[in-house]
């Protein structure tokens, strides 16, 4: 029976500012909880953030970090010393491999809220000029977001976008010595082990750490999940 560790909303640190609301699933980087939390292998940060209209982070640096951003709803703008002024619409993913260093800021230049997910991964190789990649996602079946030639993470990680059809289970399998993290991105989910019969219900925004073995994921209504496979 695979390990199932439920990350409830109540257990996730929440930061609420006048311009930003976010929940941190691992290490927090903003607000009173900054620096708290534990990584899962190379996954340091998974922030579920909502920007108020006409707001953005101040310009800040990154180096030797793989930064994956996924727009769930609204429009995200990118500002910095590269790709300045680029915008990301819903179901767009951007990977920044910061490498030797870059400056940037994300924000929302529109009149409605923007929700995005941002993940930070510790790289296993270092150096070189920063690199930017992007990918458009759809609701037509499981899609690899990052971890291939098109979005080449410098980490032993694959990140998937998992659209779910109401009542149709999706199977997830982890090999030995691998971990997984499942995020209920746009609606509640039911996760059940194929052996042993145990399961857990994830509310919108909740997650689950999974271990070796297989589970099924089911939604009562059409929704999407984020699935991360890592050591």
Helix (H, G, I), strand (E, B) or coil at 33: helix
Reported as a single tens digit per residue, the pLDDT across 106-155 is: 999 999 999 999 999 999 999 999 999 999 999 889 999 999 999 999 99
Domain housing 150: 4-230
What is the structure's pLDDT at 80?
Answer: 79
Task: State pTM to two decimals.
Answer: 0.95
CB 117 within 8 A of CB 24: no
What is the structure's pLDDT at 82?
Answer: 66
What is the structure's pLDDT at 55?
Answer: 97
Q: What six digits make up the tokens of 123? A: 């790289």
Helical ranges in 98-174 per DSSP H: none
Q: What six digits make up the tokens of 5? A: 């560790």
What is the structure's pLDDT at 83?
Answer: 61
Instruction: Please state, in angstroms and rounded to a whole number, the distance separating the CA atoms of residues 175 and 210.
Output: 11
Task: Per-residue pLDDT tens, the chain, 231 aa: give them.
Answer: 578 999 999 999 999 999 999 999 999 998 889 999 999 999 999 999 999 999 999 999 999 999 999 999 999 998 877 666 689 999 999 999 999 999 999 999 999 999 999 999 999 999 999 999 999 999 889 999 999 999 999 999 999 999 999 999 999 999 989 999 999 999 999 999 887 667 899 999 999 999 999 999 999 999 999 999 999
Handedness of CA 26, 94, 162, 110 (dihedral sign): positive
Residue 143: CA count within 13 A, CB half-sphere: 17
Total domains present in the chain? 1
Render 61-74 in DSSP notation, one character per residue.
EE-S-EEEEEEEES
- CATH assignment of the domain containing 219: 2.60.120.10
């Amino acid at each position: 029976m695979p390990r199932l560790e439920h990350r409830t909303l109540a257990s996730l640190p929440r930061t609420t500012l006048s311009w930003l609301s976010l929940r941190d699933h691992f290490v927090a980087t903003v607000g009173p909880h900054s620096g708290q939390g534990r990584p899962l292998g190379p996954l340091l940060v998974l922030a579920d953030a909502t920007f108020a209209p006409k707001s953005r982070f101040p310009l800040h640096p990154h180096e030797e970090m793989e930064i994956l951003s996924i727009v769930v709803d609204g429009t995200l703008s990118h500002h910095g010393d590269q790709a300045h002024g680029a915008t990301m619409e819903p179901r767009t993913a951007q990977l920044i491999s910061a490498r030797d260093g870059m400056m940037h800021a994300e924000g929302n230049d529109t009149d409605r809220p923007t929700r995005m997910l941002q993940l930070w991964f510790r790289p296993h190789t270092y150096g070189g000029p920063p690199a930017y990649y992007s990918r458009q996602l759809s609701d037509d079946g499981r899609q690899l977001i990052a971890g291939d030639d098109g979005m080449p993470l410098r980490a032993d990680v694959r990140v998937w976008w998992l659209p779910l059809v109401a009542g149709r289970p999706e199977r997830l399998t982890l090999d030995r010595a691998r971990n997984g993290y499942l995020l209920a991105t746009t609606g509640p989910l039911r996760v059940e082990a194929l052996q042993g019969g145990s399961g857990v219900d994830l509310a919108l925004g909740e997650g689950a750490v999974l271990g070796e073995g297989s589970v099924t994921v089911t939604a009562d209504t059409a929704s999407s999940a984020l699935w991360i496979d890592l050591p």
